[in-house]
Amino acid sequence: MLFHVRMDVHLPPDLDPDARATLLARERDRAVELQQSGVWPELWRIVGEYANISIFDVSSNDDLHDILSSLPLFPYMKIQVTPLAQHPSKV
């Protein structure tokens, strides 16, 4: 079941550089892990913004919330979820 997810990252400008580097490394590791598991098939950067557009493929709403809230950057992101359905004209 597919969901369209937009994530906008807002890191505090006075975040300690080491804490920031550690946080971003953990986020990258978690993102790789989730992609390899198959639940995060698409991930794009929005040009000019610290934001991404993603497609998630999960078995339920609860799964999706567990995945998104497991991201190390979760407390620093505004996330919008849009449920997707099969389009009748899709080849």
Kindly report the number of other CB atoms within 10 A of residue 54's CB atom. 19
Q: Does 18 interact with its own copies (rule: CB under 8 A)?
A: no
C-alpha dist (Å) from residue 46 to 6, 8, 55, 58, 66: 9, 10, 14, 23, 24
Q: Does 26 interact with its own copies (rule: CB under 8 A)?
A: no
Q: Does 17 interact with its own copies (rule: CB under 8 A)?
A: no
Binding residues among 30-89 for its own copies as defined by CB under 8 A: 31-32, 35-36, 42-50, 52-53, 60-62, 64-66, 68-69, 75-76, 79-89
3 state SS of 8: strand
Place of tokens 């978690």: 30
Applying CB under 8 A, the residues found at the interface with its own copies are: 1-5, 12-14, 27-28, 31-32, 35-36, 42-50, 52-53, 60-62, 64-66, 68-69, 75-76, 79-91
